[in-house]
Amino acid sequence: MQNLQRPTGIINAVLDTDTYNEIDDQYALAYFLRSPERINPLAIYAAPFANVRATTPAEGMEKSYEEIHRVLHHCAREGFPAYRGSTTYLPDEYTPVESEAARDLVERALAHTPDNPLYVLSIGCITNVASALLMVPAIRRNIVVVWLGGQVHHWPNLKWTEFNMVQDIAAARVVYNSGCALVQLPCMGVVSHLMTTEPELRTHIKGKSSLGDYLYDITCDKAVREDGGNAAWSRVIWDISVVAWLLGDDFVKDVTVPAPIPAYEGGYLHDPHRHPMKVAYYVNRDAVFLDLFGKLAR
Protein backbone atom coordinates (compact mmCIF):
# COMPACT_ATOMS: atom_id res chain seq x y z
CA MET A 1 0.00 0.00 0.00
CA GLN A 2 2.87 2.37 0.76
CA ASN A 3 4.37 1.91 -2.69
CA LEU A 4 1.01 2.34 -4.42
CA GLN A 5 0.99 5.96 -3.29
CA ARG A 6 2.15 8.40 -5.94
CA PRO A 7 5.75 9.46 -5.24
CA THR A 8 6.45 13.09 -4.37
CA GLY A 9 10.22 13.26 -4.79
CA ILE A 10 12.61 12.28 -7.55
CA ILE A 11 12.45 8.54 -8.23
CA ASN A 12 14.62 6.07 -10.13
CA ALA A 13 12.87 4.61 -13.17
CA VAL A 14 13.31 2.44 -16.24
CA LEU A 15 11.14 2.43 -19.37
CA ASP A 16 10.02 -0.73 -21.19
CA THR A 17 8.77 0.17 -24.69
CA ASP A 18 7.77 -1.34 -28.05
CA THR A 19 9.00 1.88 -29.60
CA TYR A 20 8.59 1.04 -33.29
CA ASN A 21 5.04 -0.29 -32.98
CA GLU A 22 3.37 3.14 -33.03
CA ILE A 23 4.36 6.78 -32.74
CA ASP A 24 3.26 7.42 -29.16
CA ASP A 25 6.12 5.44 -27.58
CA GLN A 26 8.53 8.01 -29.00
CA TYR A 27 6.66 10.81 -27.24
CA ALA A 28 6.64 8.80 -24.00
CA LEU A 29 10.37 8.10 -24.25
CA ALA A 30 11.15 11.79 -24.73
CA TYR A 31 8.75 12.70 -21.88
CA PHE A 32 10.51 10.13 -19.67
CA LEU A 33 13.91 11.68 -20.36
CA ARG A 34 12.73 15.27 -20.01
CA SER A 35 10.93 15.14 -16.67
CA PRO A 36 13.87 15.52 -14.25
CA GLU A 37 11.65 17.15 -11.63
CA ARG A 38 10.30 13.66 -10.88
CA ILE A 39 12.25 11.04 -12.85
CA ASN A 40 15.86 9.95 -12.68
CA PRO A 41 15.95 7.74 -15.81
CA LEU A 42 18.24 4.72 -15.55
CA ALA A 43 17.64 2.53 -18.60
CA ILE A 44 15.37 1.76 -21.55
CA TYR A 45 14.25 -1.74 -22.61
CA ALA A 46 13.03 -2.77 -26.06
CA ALA A 47 9.83 -4.81 -25.86
CA PRO A 48 8.66 -7.34 -28.45
CA PHE A 49 5.65 -6.85 -30.72
CA ALA A 50 4.26 -8.30 -33.94
CA ASN A 51 1.84 -6.70 -36.38
CA VAL A 52 1.98 -5.08 -39.83
CA ARG A 53 5.22 -3.34 -38.84
CA ALA A 54 7.03 -6.50 -37.70
CA THR A 55 6.32 -10.10 -38.68
CA THR A 56 7.70 -11.65 -35.46
CA PRO A 57 8.17 -10.51 -31.85
CA ALA A 58 11.95 -10.70 -32.38
CA GLU A 59 11.78 -8.37 -35.38
CA GLY A 60 9.52 -5.99 -33.47
CA MET A 61 11.91 -5.93 -30.52
CA GLU A 62 14.93 -5.27 -32.75
CA LYS A 63 13.15 -2.49 -34.65
CA SER A 64 12.12 -0.99 -31.30
CA TYR A 65 15.74 -1.12 -30.11
CA GLU A 66 16.84 0.74 -33.24
CA GLU A 67 14.04 3.30 -32.81
CA ILE A 68 15.07 3.90 -29.19
CA HIS A 69 18.49 4.96 -30.44
CA ARG A 70 16.95 7.30 -33.04
CA VAL A 71 14.93 9.03 -30.34
CA LEU A 72 17.99 9.19 -28.07
CA HIS A 73 19.87 10.90 -30.91
CA HIS A 74 17.16 13.54 -31.29
CA CYS A 75 17.15 14.02 -27.51
CA ALA A 76 20.95 14.47 -27.53
CA ARG A 77 21.24 11.45 -25.21
CA GLU A 78 23.45 9.12 -27.26
CA GLY A 79 25.05 6.51 -25.06
CA PHE A 80 22.11 6.32 -22.64
CA PRO A 81 21.71 2.69 -21.41
CA ALA A 82 19.37 0.77 -23.73
CA TYR A 83 18.90 -3.01 -23.81
CA ARG A 84 17.36 -5.57 -26.13
CA GLY A 85 14.39 -7.39 -24.66
CA SER A 86 12.55 -10.66 -25.26
CA THR A 87 12.51 -12.19 -28.73
CA THR A 88 9.38 -14.25 -27.95
CA TYR A 89 6.36 -14.00 -25.69
CA LEU A 90 6.19 -16.15 -22.55
CA PRO A 91 5.63 -19.83 -23.36
CA ASP A 92 3.63 -20.19 -20.13
CA GLU A 93 3.24 -18.51 -16.72
CA TYR A 94 6.28 -20.23 -15.21
CA THR A 95 9.07 -19.88 -17.79
CA PRO A 96 10.89 -16.56 -18.26
CA VAL A 97 12.34 -15.41 -21.57
CA GLU A 98 15.94 -14.45 -20.83
CA SER A 99 17.16 -11.17 -22.34
CA GLU A 100 19.52 -8.28 -21.69
CA ALA A 101 16.54 -6.23 -20.56
CA ALA A 102 15.20 -8.79 -18.08
CA ARG A 103 18.65 -9.37 -16.58
CA ASP A 104 19.29 -5.64 -16.26
CA LEU A 105 15.90 -5.13 -14.63
CA VAL A 106 16.66 -7.85 -12.07
CA GLU A 107 20.05 -6.30 -11.29
CA ARG A 108 18.64 -2.80 -10.87
CA ALA A 109 15.66 -3.99 -8.82
CA LEU A 110 17.95 -5.88 -6.43
CA ALA A 111 19.89 -2.64 -5.89
CA HIS A 112 16.68 -0.99 -4.61
CA THR A 113 14.54 -1.59 -1.53
CA PRO A 114 10.86 -1.49 -0.60
CA ASP A 115 11.48 1.93 0.97
CA ASN A 116 13.28 3.14 -2.15
CA PRO A 117 11.69 1.21 -5.02
CA LEU A 118 12.55 1.17 -8.70
CA TYR A 119 9.70 2.41 -10.91
CA VAL A 120 9.20 0.24 -13.99
CA LEU A 121 7.24 2.11 -16.65
CA SER A 122 5.91 -0.30 -19.27
CA ILE A 123 4.17 0.80 -22.46
CA GLY A 124 4.15 -2.40 -24.50
CA CYS A 125 3.37 -6.03 -23.87
CA ILE A 126 4.80 -6.76 -20.46
CA THR A 127 6.98 -9.78 -21.32
CA ASN A 128 10.29 -8.28 -20.16
CA VAL A 129 8.89 -7.33 -16.76
CA ALA A 130 7.16 -10.69 -16.26
CA SER A 131 10.37 -12.50 -17.20
CA ALA A 132 12.35 -10.57 -14.60
CA LEU A 133 9.74 -11.42 -11.94
CA LEU A 134 9.91 -15.10 -12.87
CA MET A 135 13.71 -15.08 -12.82
CA VAL A 136 13.92 -13.55 -9.31
CA PRO A 137 10.44 -13.34 -7.69
CA ALA A 138 11.84 -11.43 -4.68
CA ILE A 139 12.26 -8.27 -6.78
CA ARG A 140 8.50 -7.74 -6.50
CA ARG A 141 9.13 -6.03 -3.15
CA ASN A 142 11.53 -3.53 -4.70
CA ILE A 143 9.60 -2.38 -7.78
CA VAL A 144 6.51 -0.39 -8.70
CA VAL A 145 5.16 -1.34 -12.13
CA VAL A 146 3.22 1.37 -13.98
CA TRP A 147 1.68 -0.28 -17.06
CA LEU A 148 -0.21 1.15 -20.00
CA GLY A 149 -2.24 -1.88 -21.00
CA GLY A 150 -5.59 -3.63 -20.86
CA GLN A 151 -9.03 -2.12 -20.69
CA VAL A 152 -11.00 -0.80 -17.72
CA HIS A 153 -12.04 -3.58 -15.39
CA HIS A 154 -15.72 -3.40 -16.35
CA TRP A 155 -14.98 -3.58 -20.10
CA PRO A 156 -17.82 -5.64 -21.60
CA ASN A 157 -16.01 -7.19 -24.57
CA LEU A 158 -15.45 -10.89 -23.91
CA LYS A 159 -12.44 -10.96 -26.23
CA TRP A 160 -9.19 -9.09 -25.64
CA THR A 161 -8.77 -6.31 -28.18
CA GLU A 162 -6.16 -4.14 -26.42
CA PHE A 163 -2.79 -4.67 -28.13
CA ASN A 164 -0.45 -4.63 -25.13
CA MET A 165 -2.57 -7.18 -23.27
CA VAL A 166 -3.57 -9.53 -26.08
CA GLN A 167 0.00 -10.18 -27.26
CA ASP A 168 1.09 -11.86 -24.02
CA ILE A 169 -1.74 -12.54 -21.60
CA ALA A 170 0.47 -15.01 -19.72
CA ALA A 171 2.92 -12.17 -18.96
CA ALA A 172 0.09 -9.93 -17.77
CA ARG A 173 -1.15 -12.70 -15.46
CA VAL A 174 2.36 -13.14 -14.03
CA VAL A 175 2.55 -9.43 -13.18
CA TYR A 176 -1.01 -9.23 -11.79
CA ASN A 177 -0.38 -12.33 -9.64
CA SER A 178 3.15 -11.40 -8.51
CA GLY A 179 2.15 -9.17 -5.60
CA CYS A 180 4.29 -6.27 -6.83
CA ALA A 181 2.95 -2.74 -6.48
CA LEU A 182 1.03 -2.30 -9.75
CA VAL A 183 -0.54 0.79 -11.31
CA GLN A 184 -2.60 0.25 -14.46
CA LEU A 185 -3.39 2.90 -17.06
CA PRO A 186 -6.36 1.35 -18.95
CA CYS A 187 -6.90 2.25 -22.56
CA MET A 188 -10.48 2.74 -23.79
CA GLY A 189 -12.37 5.30 -21.75
CA VAL A 190 -9.37 6.48 -19.72
CA VAL A 191 -6.22 7.27 -21.68
CA SER A 192 -7.91 6.93 -25.08
CA HIS A 193 -8.66 10.66 -25.22
CA LEU A 194 -4.94 11.55 -25.10
CA MET A 195 -5.07 12.57 -28.77
CA THR A 196 -3.41 15.29 -30.78
CA THR A 197 -3.74 16.79 -34.27
CA GLU A 198 -1.50 18.18 -37.00
CA PRO A 199 -2.36 21.86 -36.31
CA GLU A 200 -1.59 21.36 -32.62
CA LEU A 201 1.76 19.69 -33.35
CA ARG A 202 2.63 22.31 -35.96
CA THR A 203 1.99 25.07 -33.43
CA HIS A 204 3.74 23.57 -30.43
CA ILE A 205 6.65 21.34 -31.54
CA LYS A 206 7.42 21.74 -35.25
CA GLY A 207 10.47 23.90 -35.81
CA LYS A 208 11.27 24.07 -32.08
CA SER A 209 13.95 21.36 -31.96
CA SER A 210 15.34 18.32 -33.76
CA LEU A 211 13.18 16.16 -31.51
CA GLY A 212 10.06 18.19 -32.21
CA ASP A 213 10.59 17.99 -35.97
CA TYR A 214 11.17 14.21 -35.80
CA LEU A 215 8.00 13.60 -33.79
CA TYR A 216 5.98 15.89 -36.07
CA ASP A 217 7.23 14.11 -39.18
CA ILE A 218 6.60 10.54 -38.02
CA THR A 219 3.16 11.45 -36.68
CA CYS A 220 2.03 13.14 -39.88
CA ASP A 221 3.52 10.39 -42.02
CA LYS A 222 1.61 7.71 -40.12
CA ALA A 223 -1.61 9.71 -40.25
CA VAL A 224 -1.37 10.21 -44.01
CA ARG A 225 -0.63 6.52 -44.59
CA GLU A 226 -3.41 5.26 -42.33
CA ASP A 227 -6.05 7.98 -42.71
CA GLY A 228 -5.51 8.78 -46.37
CA GLY A 229 -4.79 12.44 -45.78
CA ASN A 230 -8.13 13.08 -44.09
CA ALA A 231 -7.99 16.71 -43.01
CA ALA A 232 -9.65 15.88 -39.69
CA TRP A 233 -7.19 13.24 -38.50
CA SER A 234 -6.05 12.86 -34.90
CA ARG A 235 -3.57 10.42 -33.37
CA VAL A 236 -3.60 8.70 -29.99
CA ILE A 237 -0.54 9.52 -27.87
CA TRP A 238 -1.69 7.54 -24.86
CA ASP A 239 1.67 6.01 -23.89
CA ILE A 240 2.61 9.34 -22.31
CA SER A 241 0.14 8.53 -19.53
CA VAL A 242 2.66 6.41 -17.58
CA VAL A 243 4.92 9.44 -17.18
CA ALA A 244 1.96 11.72 -16.50
CA TRP A 245 0.83 9.46 -13.63
CA LEU A 246 4.14 10.05 -11.88
CA LEU A 247 3.83 13.83 -12.21
CA GLY A 248 0.75 14.23 -10.02
CA ASP A 249 -2.96 13.68 -9.56
CA ASP A 250 -3.61 16.96 -11.36
CA PHE A 251 -2.69 14.93 -14.46
CA VAL A 252 -4.01 11.43 -13.69
CA LYS A 253 -6.47 10.32 -11.03
CA ASP A 254 -6.64 6.74 -9.75
CA VAL A 255 -8.39 4.48 -7.29
CA THR A 256 -7.31 1.44 -5.26
CA VAL A 257 -9.00 -1.85 -6.18
CA PRO A 258 -8.41 -5.60 -5.63
CA ALA A 259 -6.14 -6.81 -8.45
CA PRO A 260 -8.18 -8.78 -10.99
CA ILE A 261 -6.75 -11.64 -13.04
CA PRO A 262 -6.63 -11.22 -16.85
CA ALA A 263 -8.50 -14.18 -18.32
CA TYR A 264 -7.22 -15.98 -21.40
CA GLU A 265 -10.70 -16.02 -22.91
CA GLY A 266 -11.07 -12.26 -22.41
CA GLY A 267 -11.96 -9.81 -19.65
CA TYR A 268 -10.95 -10.16 -16.02
CA LEU A 269 -11.66 -12.56 -13.18
CA HIS A 270 -12.51 -10.67 -9.97
CA ASP A 271 -11.93 -11.63 -6.34
CA PRO A 272 -12.47 -8.99 -3.62
CA HIS A 273 -9.93 -10.71 -1.35
CA ARG A 274 -6.93 -10.27 -3.66
CA HIS A 275 -4.07 -7.85 -3.05
CA PRO A 276 -4.61 -4.15 -3.90
CA MET A 277 -3.49 -2.29 -7.00
CA LYS A 278 -4.11 1.16 -8.44
CA VAL A 279 -6.07 1.79 -11.62
CA ALA A 280 -6.45 5.17 -13.32
CA TYR A 281 -9.93 6.44 -14.07
CA TYR A 282 -9.33 9.98 -15.39
CA VAL A 283 -6.65 11.84 -17.35
CA ASN A 284 -6.53 15.64 -17.59
CA ARG A 285 -5.73 15.72 -21.30
CA ASP A 286 -5.03 19.45 -21.67
CA ALA A 287 -2.76 19.67 -18.60
CA VAL A 288 -0.74 16.65 -19.76
CA PHE A 289 -0.24 18.01 -23.28
CA LEU A 290 0.66 21.47 -22.01
CA ASP A 291 3.43 19.92 -19.92
CA LEU A 292 4.52 17.55 -22.70
CA PHE A 293 4.74 20.21 -25.43
CA GLY A 294 6.78 22.49 -23.20
CA LYS A 295 9.32 19.73 -22.63
CA LEU A 296 9.45 18.63 -26.27
CA ALA A 297 10.10 22.17 -27.47
CA ARG A 298 13.36 22.46 -25.50
Closest by CA position to 47, among listed 117, 101, 10: 101
pLDDT given at position 226: 78
How far lies 22's CA from each of 49, 110, 152, 223, 236, in Å? 11, 32, 21, 11, 9
Give average pLDDT by consecutive 10-residue segment, the chain, 298 residues. 94 98 96 98 98 96 98 96 98 98 98 98 98 98 97 80 94 98 96 93 95 95 76 88 96 97 92 97 96 93
Beta bridge partners of 252: 283
Please tell me the distance from the alpha carbon of residue 179 to that of residue 191, in angstroms, as a whole number: 24
pLDDT given at position 229: 62
pLDDT given at position 230: 66
Which contacts (CB < 8 Å, 24+ apart) does range 91-94 have?
Answer: 91/170, 92/170, 93/170, 93/173, 93/174, 93/177, 94/134
- What lies within 8 Å, CB to CB, of 5 at 6+ separation is none
* Report field, pTM of the whole predicted structure over 0.85: yes
- What lies within 8 Å, CB to CB, of 158 at 6+ separation is 265, 266, 267
Please tell me the distance from the alpha carbon of residue 33 to that of residue 36, in angstroms, as a whole number: 7
- Exposed, middle or buried, 230 (CB in 10 Å: 0-12/13-18/19+)? exposed
> How many C-beta neighbours within 10 Å does residue 74 have?
17
Helix, strand or coil, per DSSP, at residue 75: coil
Decide if 97 contacts 123 (C-beta within 8 A).
no
Helix, strand or coil, per DSSP, at residue 32: helix
Helix, strand or coil, per DSSP, at residue 277: strand
